[in-house]
Amino acid sequence: MNTFILLGPPGAGKGTQADLISAELGIPKISTGDMLRSAVASKSDLGNRVEDILNSGKLVSDDIIIELINDRINQSDCKSGYLFDGVPRTLGQANLFLQNDIEVKKVIDISLDDELIIKRMSGRRFHIASGRSYHIEFNPPKAEGLDDDTGEPLIQREDDFPETVKKRLEVYHAQTKPLTDFYKLKASEGSMSFISINGNQSVDEVFSEIKSYLYK
């Protein structure tokens, strides 16, 4: 069974690569956000508990996250495998994966320096009405600050402000980056395999490296 974890900092292109891996192997992509939304929509007992927690403004506990994961991977579309994107997020969650015998055979880490991440994310601009996206350096609009089709002003999302990106990276390094060493150790013990991919390449180049790893 194809079972993967995809790691990497914000802005490294995990979402794009997760979609490509999912399509390539015909397995579902599993993220915390998707699981929470699906659980709430299901109106199950677990979903109602999750909704109450979210409505109260509290964080969903690791125990409930693991309960959601166990429920998700037992669904029919996961019979051939699954890809975790953005989960586990902490060492605590990773250890709960082990305690609950949640199978993971391969871990893919997309690495990228903080300076490049800040440059990538802070340069993004969006046309809200259409969803079209640009980058002031890598994919600039024909006229600075304006959408190519409508001529309407582009915006920079608050999440992409340099100060916001730096804060997100601080959280990543404190909470999620330690998973890299955690899974490298597990790979050295032979319980799974681990690969690190240079994220400072084109989407196609990154996926080409990942794709060669998928079938090993």
Q: What is the pLDDT of residues 128-156, one digit of tens each?
A: 999 999 999 989 999 999 999 999 999 99
Q: Which of 79, 105, 142, 157 is catalytic?
A: 157
Q: Which DSSP letter does residue 158 get? A: G
What residue spans define the domains of the chain? Answer: 2-113+178-214
Catalytic residue among 37, 49, 89, 184: 89
Share of the chain above pLDDT 90, in %: 85
| Tokens linked to 153 | 């002003």
Residue 125 dihedral angles phi and psi, to the nearest 5°: -135, 150
CATH of domain 2-113+178-214: 3.40.50.300
Among the listed residues 14, 106, 120, 125, the single catalytic one is 14
> What are the backbone dihedrals phi and psi of residue 159, each rounded to the nearest 5 degrees, phi first?
-65, -20
Give catalytic status of residue 132 as yes or no.
Answer: no
Active site (annotated) includes residue 168: yes
pTM attached to this predicted model: 0.88
- Note if 125 is an active site residue: no
pLDDT band at 18 (very low <50, low <70, confident <90, very high): very high
Would you say residue 33 has pLDDT above 90? no
Return the bridge partners of 194, or none.
107
Q: How far is it, in rounded angstroms, from Cα 194 to Cα 90?
A: 17
What does the pLDDT look like over 74-129, one tens digit per residue?
999 999 999 999 899 999 999 999 999 999 999 999 999 999 999 999 999 999 99
212's CB contacts (< 8 A; 6+ apart) are: none
Residues in contact with 164: Cβ distance below 8 Å, sequence separation at least 6, in sequence order: 158
